[in-house]
Structure 1
Amino acid sequence: MKQIKEIKLFVSCPSDIVDELDSVKLVVEDINKTMGEQNSYVLKLLNWKTDTYTQIGSDAQEVINNQIESQYDILVGLVWLKLGTPTKRDKSGTVEEINRALKNNEKEQLIYFKTAPPTDITKINPEELKKINQFKNELGDKGVLYHEFSSTTKFESLFRIQLTKLIYDKLSNKDITKNADSRGLSEIVEDKYSHITNLIAEVENFDERIIELDIFNSVEVAESHLNLVTTSLNSMSESMNDWTIKMESRSKEMNVVNNIKDQRLKLSKQKIIINLLASELLDFNNRIKNELPIFSENFRKVGSSYSNVLLIAKSFNTNEVEGIKESAKSLLISSENSLESLATLLKTIMELPPLNFKFNKAKRETEITIKDLTLETMEGIKLLNEALKD
C-alpha cells in the first residue's frame, strides 16, 4: 500500500511580510506538482488562522505554540522591517516561534531576512532595526544559518532551491507518513499475494501528474538558461576587454599629447581624447546595461531549474542530471573568475579622475552599471552554490 509523507510548513513572520508569502505558496504548489507525489510526499502550508482553535486561559501566542508547533516539520522564518509584537516570553511572536523551533531537534528551519528598503521611508523604525540586528547577532552566536535577500524574486529563487534540497536531503527518511488509501489492502499484506496487491495499489494510487513530467524537457530548459547566461557572460567579457584596450590606447595618446609644448594645441588635443574616451565609456556602459537583464533573469533561473532537474532525475534513477551538473559547475567557475575581473574593473573606473562633464557623467553611469552587474553575479553565484550542495 502506498505511503505518503505529509510534510507540513509553517511560515512565521510579522505583518509587513506580504509578497514573500505568495512566493512561498507558489513554490510549494510547484514542488507538489513537479515532484511531490511521485516521491511519495506532499507539502502542506499551515496557517495559524485556520489551523488553531480557541483555547481558554492561554494568550494568542501560546495557543499557536501549543497547537501549531506539534504539527509542522519545517519552519520558514521571514523578517523585514520589524520583529512584531512582544509576547510574554520573547521579543515577538516570530522570534519566539523561531527560537522554539531551534530548540526542537525534530524541526527544520529556513530563516530569511529581507534587506530591501521600503518604498515609503517613513516605515523605517530605527528601534525596530536595532532589535532585528540584535536578533541576527543572537542567531549568529548560536551558529544558526540565516539568509538575506534584496527582492521578492531573489527570495523565491533562493527559497525554491533550499526547500527542494531540504526535503530531499533532510526529510526523505522522516517518519511522518500517513495512509493514502484505506480500502483494506493492509489487511492482506501478510497474504501470499501481497506482492500482487501492492502492485495493484501502486496502479490505483498513481499520481496522474507524473504523466506531465518530462526529464528531457526539464534538462533542455535548464541547459537553455545555462547557455543564455554563458553567452551573456562571454559577451560582457568581450566588451570589458575591448574597453580596456581602448582605455590603454587613449592613455598612450594622452602621454604623447602631454609632451606638446604649445599649450593651446595641447589643450585642444586633450579635449578631443577625453571626449572620445567619454563616448567609448558610455558605449561600453550601454552594451553592459543592455545585456544585464538577460544575464540576471537567466542566472536566477539556472539555480531553480537545476534543482528541479536534480530532484526529478533522482526520483527516477536517471543519469541525465550529470551533464547539467557539470555545466552548472563550469558556469560557477567562470562566474567566480568574472567576479574578480569585475571588482578590478570597478576599481579602475572609480579611480579615473574627473575631467569634464561628459566624461564624469559617463564614468558615474558606468560605475553604477558595473556595481549592479557585480551584485547580480554574486547573487547568481550564491544560488548556484546552493543548488550544487551535496
Structure 2
Amino acid sequence: MFCDYNYSLSIKLKNSMAKQITTLSIFLASPSDVSNERSIVKEVINDLNQSYLKVLNLNFELLSWENSTFPSFGEYPQDVINKQIGDDYDIFLGILWSRFGTPTNKAESGTIEEFERANARRLKNEQLEICFYFKTDPIDPYKINFEQFQKIKNFKDSLPQLGGYYWEFNSQNFIKTLRDHLIKISQKWLLKPNIVQSQISLKETATKQSKIIEVEDEGIYDIFENMNELFQNATNALNNFSDLTNSHSALVNNYTKQLDNIPDDFKARKRIINNFSENLTEYCVKSKEKFSDIKLNLDLTIGKFEKFYKIYPEIHNNDNAIGFQTMILGFDHIIESIPTMGNGISGFLNAVKQMPRMTTELNRSKKLMIDTLEPFLNYLYSIEQSFILLKRNGSNLLNNLPK
C-alpha cells in the first residue's frame, strides 16, 4: 500500500442540528481486469458506513468512473474523467493485476495518469492519502500480456523510489485487508485535533443557536426557565458520560482475560488488542461529543445563575427565598458528583496508560485517549470550583437581603 499519511483539506462537514457527519471521499482507480475488486471496494465502504463509521460520525464517499462520470467531450477521453472526478478527494485507492491499461495523451495508462495527478498533489504538500494495491492471484497463461505485465512490474518497482509503500493481496484476503486499512485511515483522521475541535465548535454553535437565545431584556422568569433546563441537561450529560466510561472501562478486564487465555498465539493476541483499540477510539469519539454537551450546558448554566443573582433582589420575598435556597442546595449534586466522576475517568485513563506498547493501533488509541480525557478532567475540576463559588455567592446574597 503506497500511503502518504496526510488528510485532505477537502474534508466536507455535513451540518446537522443533531450531529456532524464528516465525509472522506475515496477515488478508486484501476483497469477493467479487477472489476470484482472494484465491487468489493464499494461493498466494504457501504458496510463500514452502516456500522463502524456510523458511531464515529464519519462517512466514506466512493468516487469512480462507474458512479461519478457521464458521457461528454474533452481534450481526450481520460481528460473527461479527470475533470468530472476532479481533485477534491481525500483518499486515492489504486489497484493493478494483469492489465496496465490503455495509454493516454499524458501517461502510459489512465490509471497511471490518475495516480500521477494524485501524487502531484501530495508533492505540493496537499493533505492526501494514497494507497496502491497489487493483486497476486495467478493469471491464465493464455491471457497474459507480457508487455502489460512488465509495465506493471516497472511501476510497482518505482513506488519505493517515490517514498511509497504498496500492498499485495489475493482474492481470499482482500475484503479483510481493505476493511482493516480503511478503519486505520479513519482512526488516523480522528487523531487530527483541529478537525475534531471544529466538529465540537460547530455543534456548540448550533446548540446555542437552537436552544438558548441571549437577549438583553431577558426577565427573571425567562432566566429561571432556561437555567433549570440547562442544569437538567448538564446533569443528564454528566450521568451519560459516567455510564459510557464505566461500560468501556469494564472492557479492560474483559480483554485482559481474553489475552490470558491465549498466551502463545501471537496473531490472536494482536487481533484482540486491535479490537480493544477500536473500542478505545470509539469511546474517545463519543466522549468528545458528550464533553461538548457537558461544557456547553454547564458554562451556560453558570452564566444564567450570574444573571439571576443580579435580578433576584427585585423580586425577593420570604416565599421566593425558600425556593432560592432549595435551588442553591441543588448545586451539591454537581459538586459531589464531579470528584466521583473524575476519579472514575482517571482510573480508566491510568489503566490504559499503563498498557505496554503492544501494537501501533493501541499506541494511537492511547494517545487519542490522553488527548481527549486530560483536558476534560482539567475542565471538570475547574467547573467544580465554579459551582462551589456560585453556591457561596448565592448564600451570601440571601443572607444580605431583608428577611
Return the TM-score normalized by structure 1.
Answer: 0.51
Q: Where do 5+ consecutive residues of structure 1 fail to align?
A: 201-210, 234-294, 330-383
Query: Is 1:311 the equivalent of 2:285?
Result: no
| Aligned residue in 2 for 1:117 | 137
2:68 is the alignment partner of 1:14? no
Take 2:180 and 2:353, find their aligned partners in 1: how far apart are those partners?
16
Change (3 A) 1:18 1:305: farther
Q: Specify the code of the residue in structure 2 equivalent to 1:17.
A: V
Distance 1:230 1:86 in 2: 53
Higher relative contact order (CA 8 A, sep 6+): 1
Map 1:1-390 onto structure 2 (within 5 A): 1=17, 2-104=19-121, 105-118=125-138, 120-143=140-163, 145-170=164-189, 173=194, 191-192=213-214, 230-232=263-265, 298=268, 302=272, 305-306=275-276, 308-317=278-287, 319=348, 326=355, 329=358, 385=360
Asked if structure 2 preserves the Cα contact closer than 8 Å seen for 1:309 and 1:321, the reply is: no
Cα distance, 1:136–1:310 mapped onto 2, change above 3 Å: farther
2:214 is paired with a residue whose SS is: coil
Letter of the structure 2 residue corresponding to residue 109 of structure 1: E
Q: Deviations over 1:261-320 (max 9, x none)?
A: xxxxxxxxxxxxxxxxxxxxxxxxxxxxxxxxxx7xx57955763553243132234859
Q: RMSD across aligned C-alpha pairs, in angstroms?
A: 4.5
CA distance in 2: counterparts of 1:316 and 1:124, whole angstroms: 51
Aligned length: 256
Give 1:76 shift.
0.9
The alpha carbon displacement at 1:225 in A equals: 7.8
Looking at structure 2, the residues matched to 21 and 303 of structure 1 have their Cα atoms a distance apart, in angstroms, of 30
Letter in 2 for 1:163: L
Output the amino acid matched with 1:192: E
Q: Given the superposition, is the C-alpha separation of residues 112 and 215 from structure 1 closer, same or farther in structure 2, using an over 3 Å criterion?
A: farther
1:311 aligned partner, one-letter code: T
C-alpha separation in 2, matches of 1:216 and 1:30: 27
Cα distance, 1:101 vs structure 2: 1.0
**Which residue in 2 is equivalent to 1:362?**
none
Shift of 1:23: 3.6
User: In the alignment, residue 91 of structure 1 is paired with which amino acid?
Assistant: E
Displacement of 1:134 after TM fit?
A: 1.8
SS at match of 1:53: coil
Instruction: Kindly state the Cα deviation for residue 67 of structure 1 after the two structures are TM-superposed.
Output: 1.8
One-letter code aligned to 2:162: K
What secondary structure is seen at the aligned counterpart in 2 of 1:42? strand
Q: Using a 3 Å threshold, how does the CA distance of structure 1 residues 53 and 313 change in structure 2: closer, same or farther?
A: same
| 1:133 match: secondary structure | helix
Residues 82 and 227 (structure 1), Cα distance of their counterparts in 2 relative to 1, 3 Å cut: farther
Pick closer, same or farther for the CA change 1:188–1:23 going to 2, 3 Å. same
Q: Compute the displacement of 1:224 (Å).
A: 8.7
Q: Which moved more, 1:130-139 or 1:22-31?
A: 22-31
| Residue in structure 2 matched with residue 254 of structure 1 by the alignment | none
* Contact 1:23–1:152 (CA under 8 A) maintained in structure 2: no
CA distance in 2, matches of 1:306, 1:165: 13
Aligned partner of residue 59 in structure 2, secondary structure: strand
- Partners of 2:176 and 2:162 lie apart in 1 by 26
Cα contact 2:118–2:130 (8 A) shared by 1: no
Mapped contact 1:8–1:45 kept (Cα < 8 A): yes
- Counterpart contact for 2:98–2:139, Cα < 8 Å: no
Supply the distance in 1 between the matched residues of 2:38 and 2:354 (Cα, whole angstroms): 30
**Deviation at residue 121 of structure 1 after TM alignment:** 2.9
1: CA distance, partners of 2:28 / 2:354: 31
